[in-house]
Each structure stands twice: as structure tokens, then as C-alpha cells.
Structure 1
Amino acid sequence: MRATFNKGYPPMSGVQNIIVSKEENGQRLDRWLGKKGVPFFLVHKFCRSGQLRIDGKRAKADVRLVEGQNVRVPPYTPKDSTPHKGPVKLSEKDRAYIKSLVIYDDGQIIALNKPSGLATQGGTNMKQHVDRLLVGLADKDGIKPHLVHRLDKDTSGILLLARNAEMARALGKSFKAKDVEKTYIGITMGVPELMQGEIKAPLHKTETGRDKDRVVVSDEGKYAHTMFSVLETMRKQAALVAFQPMTGRTHQIRVHSAYMGCPLIGDFKYGYDPELFAQINLKKRLHLHAYRLRLPHPANRKKILDLQAPIPDDFVANMKELGFDHSIKADNIQFEI
């Protein structure tokens, strides 16, 4: 006999068949199962081996679920066997906070200006993150928006949300089709040799050894391509640089910036040396900001969404400290093609 579970954590062993609820409609398979206790790496392993199925068919980990689908999960040991605690309850302070981050909302698409230090999704010992706070942006039916993509915890800037599953799928297709033009602003340690250029270097995430959990340039990696344009320099010590990632690899801009000999200021993971700025009063943060997104609106392809996230105060303060002009004009940023 098969057991069917509509919500809560699955049992410790045996095959489970879990039905996707209305509230879960549009969520990514790997993230959805993560909330139910299935370790992230196991979801991907089960998908590769064909053991994890949706309505009897093989499934990819990044597929978005549809209400009523039957997800078959093979036996596993959950990372957390405690009972499901029910819907997230936010304080008024949290609700006000997530609403304060909204810079665009047309009823279908929402854009947040995510601060540095706030994770997009939860993880080990991660109590506060955007995904948890989305309850504060729920519609009149109590359905919260869907995450469409993610930003690193320490990267600030534009983060897109979709009001419903259909829009989430449409936006996801736009990102996959490379219809989304992304511009980031960063401050580098050192100055690039060229004022404009591109970096093509394959990236590989290491899982063992000295570089465990870091992304490195390696022939074993996936193709990665980043355009850059130097906006200003402070002698040979630092540069204000605009980046345009043409692919979407993990830590791509951070690693590519370090690869050209100019790690981002504040990026201790990839080579930043604070001693070089010991005499300058810089606020501590990773100096990378997702500044602009341009894409055709999925509901009207003739309409171009041009979204800009104001550069946060701590970033601006450091720009001033380094002598950079903080009044950046998006249309003045050009990338050599």
C-alpha cells in the first residue's frame, strides 16, 4: 500500500508519494523537497538516477511543480525528522522590513533591493532569509510570491519575484533563454589592465581538498563569460567596475574578477587583502551590487522592463571614501562587444 502525504515531513523510510498542494504550486522540486527534509544533494542524486519521479515520469531537480502532481520519493533519511511547524509567522517588524525592500510591483512581478548579508534562501543555522520573509508579501488569498532566481548572501541588489506560478515559469524561461540583461557594480582591489573587456574562463565548484566549497577556474568546469567596463580608478589601488555576466554560474563575477588579478573588495573567499586598505575607513561588506535588470515583460513582450536598484548607503559611503563618483547613470555604462 502506498502512503500519500499532502504536507509535513515524510516518514524516515520507505517510498513516499507526495501530492503538490495549491500553496506549493510553482515551487522548484529541489527547494520544495528540501523544506520537507530531503537533503539537497539527495534530490539531485535521485533525479540523475531516475528514482525521483513526477506522475510516473523522470524529473529534473529544477522543474517547477504544478498543483495536484504526485511526486514519488525513494527511501532516504531526512535531515530533520521533527514535525512540521505549519505556516511561517512573521512579526510586524519583519513584515514592514520585507515591504521596505520592494522597489517595483506591477501585480505580476515584484523586484526587491536585497541588502548585503540577507540570504535568498535558508540553510544550516540560517534563521532569516528572503524566502522566509515572503509571507509578508502574500496576496489577499494568502499565497506568497515565488522566488525566480537568487543572489549570494553578501551580494546586494535586484531580486525578482513572481506573483504566481505561471509568471514564475515565464520568468524562469527568460533567464534560461538569456533574455535578461544583468548589470552589476563592483569595487575591485587593484585596477584591470584593460578599461573594457571580457573574461571567458570555465568555472568548477570544488567539493574536496584545499579549495573545498569554492569555485575555481578549471578546464573541468562549465563555460562562463563575463563582460566588464572600468568606470573609475583610484590610482592603481582600486577600481569601480561594471560587470555584465553573459552566463549564470555560481560566484561567476567574484571568481572572474579575481582571475583577472582584481578580487572584489571585501571578498575574503577569493583573495581580498584588507591590509592594502588599512589606512582607509571602509565599511565591511562584499562590494558587489546587482544594479540593473532589463528584460521583455512576459505578459507583454513589447514592453521592456528596465529595473534599477539604488546603490545601498554602505556601498555609497565606501565609493566616497575611495574618491569615486557615486551618481552612476545606468545608460552611460557601455560594454565592449
Structure 2
Amino acid sequence: MNATTKDKPEVQWVQIDEEAVGQRLDNFLFTLLKGVPKTRIYRIVRKGEVRVNKGRVEAKYRLQLNDTIRIPPIRVAERSEQMLIQPRLKSSLENQIIYEDEGFLVLNKPAGFPVHGGSGVSSGVIEALRQIRPDSRFLELVHRLDKETSGCLLVAKKRSILKYLHELFRGDGVEKTYMALLAGQWRRKKQVVDAPLLKNILKSGERMVVVSNKGKPAQTSFVRLRKFADATLVHASPKTGRTHQIRVHAAWLGHPIVGDDRYGDAETNKIFRSRGYKRLFLHAEQLRFLHPVSGELMQFNATLPQELQNLLDHEQTI
């Protein structure tokens, strides 16, 4: 669809509050002027059309408390009509909010949708969330989930909260628990996989991750929950946050995740597809961390999607 533009744009005056302190001017403008090409933003800064406290600054200038920014009249493309939100995604965004306060929200992300646009995808969960909440000044992903993974997804509503949560994720401040269905009968009750992961980009542009001594440290704890005739339900808790970590470590165990077209077993996937099951069985079931403001220990649980529950209900328990 063709983008529309706002009529008669006017000069904007923006005063910097605590949430934007320390941010680069260019990044601040990218967020504020969504729809305006980055080249256009750099041009108006370079020409001095953007002023901070009535003076010229460079794009890399770090914003300070109470700075006053003058932004020249500029037409901002309105993206609301450009992006069509699929009904299932819209329903999840509106009805699957697990928790929300002034600083962040947790939603139960549906499988089949990327968390953000890029790599040939025009939009994802975060772009759709911004569209249905046009009055929200700040909405940013705290972490990521694979397109085919469902479950707990954390979104910050303030820059200060985003910084705090990023620090938690970089350290060991967030406990993450996933539910996964592994191919075959895994006979151990518990195992910690400590195998470094190396990320490769194939000629096709596809990302493939392999266990390699040249890779980055990665650790995942697996705990068996239930055994079925040809599969094993487990909890997987990653201690690090490498790309495709749980999927690769499960395959390294010799029991790849059911429905994994990239690292899984083709014959197993074929058998499960014949039963009407077509998706990756990986669900971000739980997040635990200290609240950024109160310091209270918070625990969030995402209900297992019905298609996954149906599969478990029809499998033969051993």
C-alpha cells in the first residue's frame, strides 16, 4: 500500500528527560521520526537544521538532561496503513499479555512470527506492537526468540528499564526455562551440556550454528519431564544466550527437537508431520528476575500453545 504523509509539518521542540539521557542524537531521532530515511536524518543534522540548545551538534552527540532539540518541519511516513497485521498476531498482542506495568511488559509470543522485521521480512512482533499502541513513546525488545519459538517475550517501555534488563540478560540475572520435545527416548534424567558454539553464514545467507572449540562458550541444562514412545519432554535452561543454542545442544545430545527443520532429524519430523504436527516444539515457558524498580523476584509463565498441548495429550507415555 502507498504510505500517506502528515499534512503541514511544523517545527518540533523536544526537551530531553531522564529516559533519553546518554543516548546518541541520531539514534534518538531514528526512534522519534519513524518512517524517515536515515540518510535524510543525517542530512538535516549535518546541515544544522537540527539544533540542540540553539546550537549545531554532530550526530554522535550524547543527549543531556533538559537539552532542548529543535527538529525542522519534516514529513513522516505513516506506517499504520503500510503494515497489515495478521489476525493471529494481533490477537496475541492484544489478549496474550502476561504482565504489564509502567516499565515493561511480557507477552506470550505465538510461533510463526519473527520478533522484528529484517532479512526480507517487512515487520515482526515489535513493529506490530508499536502499530497497535501508537501512543507508546518507547517500545523495544529486551531479548529475542526464534520465529518458530513461542512463549515469554520481554518488551521494555522505558530506556532506563531496557538498560537494566539488558544487564541482567548479559549476566546471570535472568533464569530462562524452555519446554522442548526431543526426538527419541532420552534415558538420562538430567544433563548439563557445556559445548562452545560457532555461528556460520552459508552462501545462501542462512545461519547455521555448530559445536566447535573455536566458538563461544555455551551451557544448557536439560531435565527430563516425561518419556513417550518416540520422544522425550524436557525442560531446557540456557545459562548463556547464543543463537539457536538449545536447538544445537539438543542435536548434540543425539536427540534434536521435534519439528526442527534446520538441526533436526528428517525422518522423525516426517513421522510427526504425518500426525498433523508441523512446528518446532520449543516454548519459552518461564522467565524469572528481580523487578527493576521494586527488587521483588518476578516469575512469568507462558501457557503452552494448544497445538503443542494437543500433541502431548495424544502421545503414548512410557
TM-score by length of 1: 0.69
Name the CA shift for 1:107/1:269 in 2 (closer, same or farther; >3 Å): same
With 267-276 and 190-199 compared, the bigger mean Cα shift is at 267-276
Asked whether 1:294 is paired with 2:291, we answer no
- 1:228 equivalent to 2:234? Answer no
Query: Contact 2:181–2:234 at 8 Å: present in 1 too?
Result: yes
Query: What's the counterpart of residue 320 of structure 1?
Result: 313
Match of 2:271 among 278, 288, 293: 278
Cα deviation for residue 175 of structure 1 reads: 0.8
Residue correspondence of structure 1 range 191-270 to structure 2 within 5 A: 191-208=185-202, 213-235=207-229, 237-270=230-263
Give 1:85's aligned amino acid. Answer: A
Q: For residues 154 and 67 of structure 1, what CA distance do their matches in structure 2 show?
A: 43
Residue 123 and residue 68 in structure 1: after superposition, are their counterparts in 2 closer, same or farther (change >3 A)?
farther
Pairing of 1:70-149 with structure 2 (within 5 A): 85-89=77-81, 96-136=91-131, 138=133, 141-149=135-143
CA contact 1:112–1:158 (8 Å) conserved in 2: yes
Which is higher, the Rg of structure 1 or of structure 2? 2
Q: In the TM superposition, what whole-angstrom CA distance separates every residue of 1:277-304 from its partner, at most 9, and x where no partner exists? A: 6376142100000000000001111x11
SS where residue 102 of structure 2 aligns? coil
Runs (4+) of structure 1 exceeding 6 A deviation are 66-70
The residue number in structure 1 matching 2:60 is 54
Query: For the structure 1 residues 147 and 88, does the alpha-carbon distance in structure 2 shift closer, same or farther, using more than 3 Å as the test?
Result: farther
| Cα displacement string for residues 250-296 of structure 1 (whole angstroms, at most 9, x for unaligned residues) | 00000000001000000010022245763761421000000000000
CA distance in 2, matches of 1:245, 1:290: 11
User: Gapped runs of 5+ residues in structure 1?
Assistant: 1-5, 7-16, 26-31, 38-52, 57-65, 71-82, 326-337
* CA distance 1:135–1:256, change in 2 (3 Å): same
Structure 1 partner of 2:172: 178
Deviations 1:231-267 (A, max 9, x none): 11113x2100110000000000000000010000000
Q: Secondary structure at the match of 2:26?
A: strand
Q: 1:309 and 1:265 mapped to 2: Cα distance? A: 20
1:151 counterpart = 2:145: yes
Instruction: Classify the secondary structure of the residue corresponding to 2:113.
Output: coil
Q: TM-score, normalised to structure 2's length?
A: 0.73
1:109-168: CA deviation from partner (whole Å, max 9, x where unpaired) = 2001001101101123324410211224537x4424221111000000000011111111
Please state how far the C-alpha of 1:20 moved relative to its aligned partner. 2.1
Q: Measure, in 2, the Cα distance between the counterparts of 1:69 and 1:122.
A: 32
Does structure 1 conserve the Cα–Cα contact (< 8 Å) formed by 2:258 and 2:268? no
Report the counterpart of residue 26 of structure 2 in structure 1.
18
User: 1:212: Cα distance to partner?
Assistant: 5.6
Identify the match of residue 156 of structure 2 among 142, 157, 162. Answer: 162
Matches within 5 A, 1:37-48: none
Looking at structure 1, the residues matched to 315 and 38 of structure 2 have their Cα atoms a distance apart, in angstroms, of 47
Residues 293 and 308 in structure 1, CA contact (< 8 A), matched pair in contact too: yes
